[in-house]
Amino acid sequence: MTDQKSQLVSEVREFATDIILNKVSKSIRYHNLDHTQGVVLACEEIADYYQLNPDDRMALTIAAWFHDTGFSSGESHGHEAVSISLATTFLKEHNAGQDLIQKVINIIEATRMPQSPVNLLQQIICDADLFHIGTAEFKAKNDLLRQELIEFSHEDVSKKKWRKMNIAFLGNHKYFTDYGRRKLQPIKEQHLEELKLKNGDGKKVKKNKKEDQMVESFTEEMNKDPEEKKKKDKENQTERGISTVFRIMANNHASLSQMADSKANIMISVNAIILSLLISNLVRHLEGNPNLVIPTIMLVLVCVAAIIFAVLATRPNITQGTFTKEDIQKKQTNLLFFGNFHSMTLPDYDWAMKEMLIDKDYMYGSMVKDLYFLGVVLAKKYRFLRISYNVFMYGLIISMLTYGVVMAYEAFFVTTTVQLAK
């Protein structure tokens, strides 16, 4: 994601957060900032699963931040339309493209009940919006939703009525993405069975072996000591936070690298134009005006030096691209950088990657090394780039001053000669 797009997403986050915190009723217990942040994280998680391209990921993230801002109207019914209006106005004010705006509108519209997504991005936000019903957070979030219906919508929802409503909803609900069906659906089914049993009309539904194992695993998790569950939840949140940090830092490094290359390209282009003008126009006049030779040579040297340092800033450096099994076993090779494996065969690289992926310390260590060396390369780029800009700036100033001195001297010389002639 480019620096400009990252800035837009950041501004969307701040704008949506301000609306939810300051303009949405405090009686909104469920559709609050915590829910919106959860939907954003769930969208990122599912987007990682499908390896979405940066443009689709940005549209999905923007829609996730805006999708419940419509509650600021004071009404729950039709809040999606208000959310779309807020998103459209904001994006137009920030000069977003029409394709992005329409994509965000379609994604938010898909969250309207009953959900009916027609493409992958809409399916992802629908599953993210109801992510909690396939997790251990279902009961707590469900209680908050009931409180919201009572306090905000002023509906009379007894516990028995609420249980029946949930049984009907969970029975009709389905996850649209393959990710949701695999990870969330079995746990949602367990919640449904528990509600049916509490309601007195539940019978165990026959499941396949794989689903039974997943449900048993979930039941064991629910029966664990609360402190142990809290510790595990904290570990899961920490891992998600680590992944987010690494992704953000990698995106920032990539954006900074693109900016450096762009600045170097500007410097090369500008100095190339100056050199071409010097060669085509000024040089041929030097014979008749030898006093301009020195400042012209100075300007040529400045342009050439600036170009050289700009080229050094963008010049690639390729390593040998090989590793040994011993390097992998000792965790000495960073497999996330292409320069360390480009000369290896696919079977060797496949084996090495699998070794790294099953070793969390090795994987995190490789990610840290990758970020570090990206930073080293960026430092080198910007150091050469700074030298190039300094040479150009100060060299141009000195050259122009030299031209000025020469021209002033010639003017003085001509004036003096004319006066003497008189």
Q: Which of 55, 87, 95 is nearest to 68 (CA)?
A: 87
**What confidence tens digit (pLDDT) does each residue in 249-273 have?**
878 888 888 888 888 999 999 999 9
Average pLDDT, the chain: 84
| pLDDT classification of 119: cutoffs 50, 70, 90 | very high
**Are 124 and 41 within 8 A, CB to CB?**
no
The backbone region for 205, taken as left when phi is positive above 0, alpha when psi lies in -120 to 50, beta otherwise, is beta
- What is the percentage of the chain residues whose pLDDT exceeds 90? 45
Q: In this predicted structure, what is the pLDDT of residue 203?
A: 47
Flag whether pLDDT at 35 surpasses 90. Answer: yes
Q: Which residue has the higher pLDDT, 76 or 67?
A: 67
Domains (range + CATH), the chain: 3-223 (1.10.1300.10), 253-421 (no CATH)
**Residue 211: predicted pLDDT:** 44
What percent of the chain clears pLDDT 70, i.e. is strictly above it?
Answer: 87
Tens-digit pLDDT profile for residues 323-342: 888 888 888 787 877 777 88
The pLDDT of residue 214: 46
Q: Check: CB of residue 343 under 8 Å from CB of residue 308.
A: no
Residue 51 has pLDDT above 80, yes or no: yes
Between 44-48, 215-219, 391-395, the lowest mean confidence (pLDDT) is in 215-219
Q: How many CA atoms lie within 13 A of 140 on its CB side?
A: 7
CA dihedral 87, 90, 92, 97 (to 10 degrees): -60
CA 44 centroid distance within chain? 9
CB 8 within 8 A of CB 255: no
CB 359 within 8 A of CB 352: no
Model pLDDT for residues 355-373, shown as the tens digit of each residue = 888 887 888 888 888 888 8
What pLDDT is recorded for position 205? 41
What pLDDT is attached to residue 227? Answer: 56
Mark residue 136 as left, alpha or beta (left: phi above 0; alpha: psi -120 to 50; beta: remaining).
alpha
**According to DSSP H, which parts of 110-172 are helical?**
120-129, 138-151, 159-172
Stronger pLDDT, 371 or 222, i.e. the higher one: 371
| pLDDT level of residue 87 (50, 70, 90 thresholds) | very high
Work out the number of other CB atoms within 10 angstroms of the CB of residue 66: 28
Tell me what pLDDT residue 206 has.
44
Q: At residue 403, does pLDDT exceed 80? A: yes
Which pLDDT belongs to residue 215? 46
Distance CA(144)–CA(130), nearest Å, equals: 14
145-190: per-residue pLDDT in tens? 999 998 888 888 888 899 999 999 999 999 999 999 999 999 999 9
